[in-house]
Amino acid sequence: MRKINIGLLGFGNVGQGVVKILRERKQFLSEKIGLEINIKKICDKDITSRRSITVDKSMLTKNPKDIINDPQIDIMIELIGGIEPTKGYIVEALRKGKNIVTANKALLAEVGKELFAVAADCSKSIYFEASVGAGIPLIKSIREGLVANKFFNIFGIVNGTSNFILSRMSDANCSFSDALREARAKGFAEKDPTLDIEGIDSAHKLILLAYLCFGRLIAMEDIFIEGISRVSLADINYAKELGFDIKLLAIAKKDGESLEVRVHPTLIPLSNLLSSVKGVDNAIFVSSDLSGKLLFYGPGAGQLSAASAVVSDVVDLTQDIKAGMFRPTLNIVPDTSIKKLRKIEEIESRYYIRFMTVDKPGVLARISGILAKFGISIASVTQKERRKGQSVPIVMLLHEAQEKKLRAALKILDHLEIIKEKSVAIRMEET
């Protein structure tokens, strides 16, 4: 039986999961694919710490060149993360005749176009199923299963940390800080959770999804990104009373010749399937012309879930190698009907607004009067408590309004003496 040799760059949590699967399912996989997958070399900066799975010391190295320069290694799995020196390792490995499997969404979002071009020039492939949704077979489904489709919208819960925090706030009636503390204790949040809670991780993943669906590799600076750190327990509870949940959504919407690409907290109806996605689970809603509306759901993190996706990519590549065939990783065809990216100021949406105001007559009339000057109409309004002489919340749902006009109105309102805190505005989507 022909042997395909693997070099593993990164022996952390997911890397250990990959080794575990390839070892424990070796015979199972061989019978399925007619090839033997052999882990030849593992590289990590730390090769002495105890791990959940033991390997022969002769397989371990601290030097990536030991994998890159080994002519017997067919596929390099990259699981070290970051942009540099990772990019350099991948470029060098491609030029040395190796195919690449990676879970590095930040790398692909930032320099993917360059890496895919190098791969094509070398007649090698870069596969990245684990970069979005961990073990959910999303990228393969879009790239292959939906190959004949043209896409309209993407709405994704693609960051497990943020979804865990918002879910705990809702289910346990706890504050943002308490939910974040619990996420850290359970290993769902990093010591510095900025990339997750501020929406940056979601934006990286959205870039890859938009590239797959619309053929546009969008720069980070062209994505509107707003995290969840200003979402309070009060907002979650008020939204629930109104029949909504709050989720951090990665959104790409095609509207005529325009494409909106944004990440932000979003009110969605409790009847929407995305509202039932709890904990670290991910869910991605995709609408297309032929297959209609599809929902991909599953664990968005976890050692074996992510490792399963990595192994899936490895198996795909072994079949290409066995057949002596080169398939371009992303034979992307741009959607030529898209002429421009719509800026956040240009979008139109319904909104949830919370004002903290003084409790005295005439406040509501003053707020609604300023909104009316900008052509913004109120769908419903609730004054939640009465505490004479203190700040009280006024919660509004607005009819569809242009973002630019709403921002202008809120800028004026937030400087009024009757407004005691910066207002909270959260966009609404029906999906």
Which is it for strands 99-102 and 126-127: parallel, antiparallel or unpaired?
A: parallel
The sign of the torsion formed by the CA atoms of 397, 234, 359, 423 equals: negative
Give the C-alpha separation, 431 to 426, whole Å.
15
Q: 150: which 2 tokens?
A: 């043209």
Question: Distance between CA 322 and CA 32 in Å, rounded?
Answer: 13
Handedness of CA 94, 96, 98, 103 (dihedral sign): negative
CA distance 161 to 346: 30
SS3 sequence of 123-171: CCCEECHHHCCCCCCHHHHHHHHCCCCCEEEEEEECCHHHHHHHHHHHH
CA distance 186 to 178: 12
* 385 torsion bin: left (phi>0), alpha (psi -120 to 50), beta (else): beta
Report the b/e string of 69-107 with b at 16+ CB within 10 A: ebeebbbbbbbbeeeeebbebbbbbbebebbbbbbbbbb
Q: Within 10 A of 326 (CB to CB), how many other CB atoms are there?
A: 15
Using DSSP's 3-state secondary structure scheme, residue 68 falls into helix
Residue type present at position 16:
Q
Q: How many CB atoms lie within 10 A of CB 381?
A: 15
Identified catalytic residue from 87, 205, 247, 253: 205
Q: Identify whether 411 is a catalytic site residue.
A: no
Positions annotated as catalytic residues are 205
